[in-house]
């Protein structure tokens, strides 16, 4: 695989209708005003301009650029596939590529096919840069090992830069649990719900900070470190009315990130057949709600396995982890709902794999609930479960159509179980290596370490942490002087020095 990037992809496409913008004079330096003779154009403190061609910031710029690319490449045999957005095929070879904004990831078997694509792009007016190693794509590091047929995905530096942005101090001891755990009362017949949270509500500024942190961490959790997903889901469920306790929970998650900053997902070559482990936890969330989870991975063709229910485990291509919207009435209904949700999510994945050239048999879905498996496979008669009808009939019909094969297997080996509930710290220590490999076990931030030997061992800072906006080093609070908890950070943020004004940059507009 190789990657390439189109330069100025969004710029220069003809707009169907003119757009108009106004630029505050206050953000323009006098040098810019004089250089472009803007003084006669200033009206009530603004410069007004008409926009006739594509530019960054216009909502239609992406679609116009994509439409232009389709029109330019179609005569040369390159076409997007019918259903999977961003996936393209070459009608004259086995070359395929994905397009995300202006980044290409090209899969090929013959170098000549790639050179023809590169020449076509140049001939149709695009400037580009290429990377034959295929080691960088949409912010991900890809470490290919063609001899052992593996590829490792990582985002080195992302967590370190995120922690710097939010001025989170290094924890005094490693944190191996991303979320607090309510220990059950062993031997008791009744397990009581957690006591209501009576701590003070956060103000608007603190709520905004909490939402920023959740957004930054969710991107990394979906891409690399899936072990954060249950904690992020629980915290996000409280963000409408978060309290000080919510912020304390978030602090524990940030400590977990600082203790495990360098997760790696490893994928192994396979038959590219989709497998799913499905699970649900009944009444494990506040307000009598349940959580559904699914572990999606690519593995061997089940018809070629000695045991068609024991595929070789692979890295997750995605993990579904959501609090179910409806209150269910039994564990079986929760498990059936999880099967329904996971099968729905699998449909576009099946289509994408087939359009990539990997035909899919009935997708195997593992569940550890025999009642749900019996209902889906029409082996259990449905009686007093009217509320389950929609989910019951949808998934059962898809099984009858041959799209899915739902089977029961004991829950000990179900990879989705980890994501349905919060666990003891010892369980997190045991399970994390099952999903991720860690490049580093340190609990400090290598990217901002004051120790020269550590700083020299990390990659270029321009590569590490792509996608995270942080303050310049001069305005960030040093780690040694940082406050001890997130609520304290909020007080110090008001006195943070302001960023220098960005003078000398201007957006040129074709009018």
Pick from 136, 101, 138, 97: which is nearest to 120 by CA?
97
Q: Which two tokens stand for residue 72?
A: 């330019």
**What is the arithmetic mean of pLDDT over 364-377?**
92
- Tens of pLDDT, residue by residue over 165-199, are 999 998 989 999 999 987 777 777 776 777 777 89
Could you tell me the pTM of the whole model?
Answer: 0.83
pLDDT at 191: 67
| From the candidate CATH numbers 3.30.499.10, 1.20.210.10, 3.30.420.10, 3.40.50.300, the one assigned to the domain spanning 270-419 | 3.30.420.10
Write the CATH number of the domain with boundaries 2-138: 3.30.70
- Tens of pLDDT, residue by residue over 419-450, are 999 999 999 999 999 999 876 544 444 444 43
**What is the arithmetic mean of pLDDT over 138-157?**
95
DSSP SS3 for 319: strand
Looking at the chain, which residues constitute the CATH 3.30.70 domain(s)? 2-138
Cβ pair 328, 290 in contact under 8 A? yes
- Tens of pLDDT, residue by residue over 309-345, are 899 999 999 999 999 988 888 888 899 999 999 999 9
Cβ pair 320, 292 in contact under 8 A? yes
Looking at the chain, which residues constitute the CATH 3.30.420.10 domain(s)? 270-419
pLDDT at 56: 84
- Tens of pLDDT, residue by residue over 25-45, are 999 999 999 999 999 999 999
Share the mean pLDDT of the chain.
Answer: 85
Cβ pair 53, 510 in contact under 8 A? yes
Q: How far apart are CA 386 and CA 33, in angstroms?
A: 70
pLDDT at 433: 93
Q: Which two tokens stand for residue 445?
A: 């931030």
Q: Is 205 exposed, middle or buried (0-12, 13-18, 19+ CB in 10 A)?
A: exposed
Cβ pair 11, 53 in contact under 8 A? yes
pLDDT at 449: 41
- Which residue reads 């190789």 in tokens? 2
Helix, strand, coil content of the chain in percent (nearest 5): 35, 20, 40
Higher pLDDT, 227 or 196: 227
pLDDT at 466: 60
Higher pLDDT, 507 or 460: 460
Strands (E) across 68-139 are located at 78-80, 87-90, 96-100, 103-107, 127-131, 136-137
- Tens of pLDDT, residue by residue over 274-301, are 999 999 999 888 888 899 999 999 999 9
pLDDT at 4: 95
Q: Is 292 exposed, middle or buried (0-12, 13-18, 19+ CB in 10 A)?
A: buried
Percentage of the chain beyond pLDDT 70 is: 83
- Tens of pLDDT, residue by residue over 240-269, are 899 999 999 999 999 999 999 999 999 999
Q: Which two tokens stand for residue 496?
A: 């943070």
**Is 50 exceeded by the pLDDT of residue 482?**
no
Cβ pair 90, 81 in contact under 8 A? no
**What is the arithmetic mean of pLDDT over 388-409?**
87
**Is 60 exceeded by the pLDDT of residue 454?**
no
pLDDT at 476: 39
- Which residue reads 């608007």 in tokens? 204
Percentage of the chain beyond pLDDT 90 is: 66
CA-atom Rg of the chain in angstroms: 26
């Amino acid at each position: 695989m190789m990657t390439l990037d189109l330069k100025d992809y969004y710029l220069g496409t003809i707009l169907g209708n003119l757009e108009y913008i106004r630029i505050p004079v206050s953000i323009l330096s006098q040098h810019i005003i004089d250089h472009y003779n803007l003084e006669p154009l200033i009206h009530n403190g603004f410069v007004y301009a008409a926009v006739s061609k594509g530019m960054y910031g216009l909502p239609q710029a992406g679609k116009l650029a994509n439409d232009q690319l389709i029109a330019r490449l179609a005569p040369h045999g390159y076409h997007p596939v019918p259903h999977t957005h961003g996936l393209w095929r070459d009608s004259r070879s086995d070359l395929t590529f994905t397009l995300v904004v202006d980044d290409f990831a090209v899969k090929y078997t013959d170098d000549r096919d790639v050179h023809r694509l590169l020449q076509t792009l140049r001939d149709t007016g695009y400037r580009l840069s290429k990377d034959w190693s295929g080691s960088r794509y949409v912010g991900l590091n890809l470490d290919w090992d063609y001899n052992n047929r593996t590829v490792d995905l990582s985002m080195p530096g992302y967590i370190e830069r995120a922690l710097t942005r939010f001025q989170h101090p290094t924890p005094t001891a490693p944190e191996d649990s991303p979320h607090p755990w309510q220990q059950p009362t062993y031997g008791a017949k009744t397990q009581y719900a957690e006591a209501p949270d009576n701590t003070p509500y956060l103000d608007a500024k603190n709520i905004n900070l909490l939402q920023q942190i959740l957004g930054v961490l969710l991107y990394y959790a979906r891409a690399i470190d899936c072990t954060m997903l249950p904690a992020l889901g629980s915290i996000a469920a409280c963000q409408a009315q978060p309290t000080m306790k919510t912020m304390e929970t978030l602090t524990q998650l940030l400590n977990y990130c600082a203790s495990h900053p360098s997760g790696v997902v490893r994928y192994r070559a396979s038959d590219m057949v989709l497998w799913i482990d499905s699970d649900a936890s009944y009444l494990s969330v506040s307000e009598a709600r349940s959580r559904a989870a699914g572990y999606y991975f690519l593995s061997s063709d089940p018809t070629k396995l000695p045991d068609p229910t024991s595929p070789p485990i692979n890295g997750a291509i995605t993990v579904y982890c959501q609090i179910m919207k409806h209150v269910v009435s039994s564990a079986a209904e929760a498990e059936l709902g999880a099967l329904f949700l996971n099968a729905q999510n699998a449909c576009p994945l099946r289509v994408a794999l087939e359009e990539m050239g990997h035909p899919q048999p009935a997708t195997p879905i593992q569940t550890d609930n025999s009642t749900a498996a019996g209902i889906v496979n029409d082996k259990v008669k449905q009686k007093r479960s009217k509320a389950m009808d929609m989910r019951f009939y949808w998934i059962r019909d898809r099984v009858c159509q041959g799209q899915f094969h739902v089977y029961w297997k004991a829950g000990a080996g179900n990879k989705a179980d980890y994501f349905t509930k919060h666990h003891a710290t010892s369980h997190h220590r045991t399970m994390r290596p099952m999903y991720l490999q860690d490049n580093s076990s340190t609990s400090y931030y290598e990217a901002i370490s004051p120790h020269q030997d550590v700083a020299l061992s990390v990659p270029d800072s321009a590569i590490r942490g792509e996608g995270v906006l942080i303050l310049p080093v001069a305005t960030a609070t040093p780690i040694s002087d940082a406050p001890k908890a997130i609520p304290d950070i909020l007080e110090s943020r008001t006195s943070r020095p302001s960023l220098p004004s960005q003078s000398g940059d201007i957006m040129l507009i074709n009018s």
